[in-house]
Amino acid sequence: MPRKSEKKKTGAARNQNPIGINGGAGGTVTDISGQGTAKKLVDVGGMDELYRGILEGVGEDTQREGLLKTPYRAAAAMKFLTQGYTQSLDEILNNAIFEEDNNNMVLLRDIEFYSQCEHHLLPFFGKCHVAYIPNGKIVGVSKMARIVDMFARRLQVQERLTNQIADALEEALQPRGVGVVAEGLHLCMIMRGVEKQHSKMTTSAMRGTFLEMPTRMEMMSLIRNGGDVF
Ligand SMILES: [Zn+2]
């Protein structure tokens, strides 16, 4: 399709009523395909209009071609990055807890996480190591990573993220102990403010037997000996 007519159509779709999948229930589900095709759109709940305001706020021309779809894209991205608000521990674990007579440490290391700091809405990201010592119950290993995602995809501070992961595992398994260590790079520190490019923040949350030195040391040595942490 020629560029000019595509532009026109996109603009028209925005000004008319959304052809939305959710019947326009308060949201502005805009046809951004420019072709009226059945491309599935996310209901961004009106956030696209707010992003349009941000673009205007920084002095941009929201009608220039490169930005026409940006409000919707940014809103849809924000929806994705905060989808943890709509998830629950029950839904995520979904019967993936098994009885098992294992009293040895289970450690999943190097779980990537991507979150946003609640102070600046800028990303912080890194790796998280989650360990527990079972007390008759274990959880499917992929679920440990999904628990990390559920809490990371919210507005966060790293300290709370670390604690919430530990609390969730404790609640789900009632294990002998839980240990969570997270290492994160914070773009609010790197791109603005003090501009410290290489500072990593490390946080930990220890519960039960992980409060005792031998267990904690065992976890730390497993994390280290498994290869480079970053
Ligand atoms: Zn921040």
Gap between the Cα atoms of 108 and 140, Å rounded? 11
Is 63 an annotated catalytic residue?
no
The answer for residues whose C-beta is within 8 angstroms of residue 218's C-beta and 6 or more apart is 105
Burial class (CB in 10 A: 0-12, 13-18, 19+), 106: middle
Is 128 an annotated catalytic residue?
no
Q: What backbone torsions phi and psi does residue 22 show, to the nearest 5 degrees?
A: -110, 20
SS3 23: coil
Look at residue 210 and tell me whether its pLDDT is greater than 80. Answer: yes
pLDDT digits (tens, 9 = 90+) for 35-47: 555 577 899 999 9
Annotated catalytic residue, options 49, 60, 120, 170: 120
Q: Tell me what the mean pLDDT of segment 186-211 comes to.
A: 87
Q: Topology of domain 96-225, per CATH?
A: GTP Cyclohydrolase I, domain 2 (3.30.1130)
DSSP per-residue string spanning 128-192: EEEEEE-SSEEE-HHHHHHHHHHHHSSEE-HHHHHHHHHHHHHHHH--SEEEEEEEEEEHHHHTS
pLDDT digits (tens, 9 = 90+) for 83-131: 999 999 999 998 899 999 888 999 999 999 999 999 999 999 999 999 9
Is 129 an annotated catalytic residue?
no
Q: Looking at mean pLDDT, say which of 25-34, 53-62, 91-100 comes out highest.
A: 53-62
The pTM score is 0.80
Annotated catalytic residue, options 112, 118, 159, 171: 118
**Would you kindly state where each structural domain of the chain is located, as residue ranges?**
3-81, 96-225
Q: Topology of domain 3-81, per CATH?
A: GTP Cyclohydrolase I; Chain A, domain 1 (1.10.286)
DSSP per-residue string spanning 92-119: HHTT-EEE----S-EEEEEEEEEEEETT
Looking only at the bridges linking them, the beta strands covering 137-139 and 97-99 are antiparallel
pLDDT mean across residues, the chain: 85
Whole-angstrom CA distances from 19 to 13, 24, 27, 43, 133 are 8, 7, 11, 11, 52
Is 118 an annotated catalytic residue?
yes
Is 158 an annotated catalytic residue?
yes
How is residue 47 written in tokens? 């956030």
Look at residue 52 and tell me whether its pLDDT is greater than 60. Answer: yes
d(CA 152, ligand 1 centre) in Å: 14
Is 117 an annotated catalytic residue?
yes
Annotated catalytic residue, options 116, 117, 183, 218: 117
d(CA 64, ligand 1 centre) in Å: 30
pLDDT digits (tens, 9 = 90+) for 144-162: 999 999 999 999 999 999 9
Q: What backbone torsions phi and psi does residue 136 show, to the nearest 5 degrees?
A: 100, -15
Is 188 an annotated catalytic residue?
yes
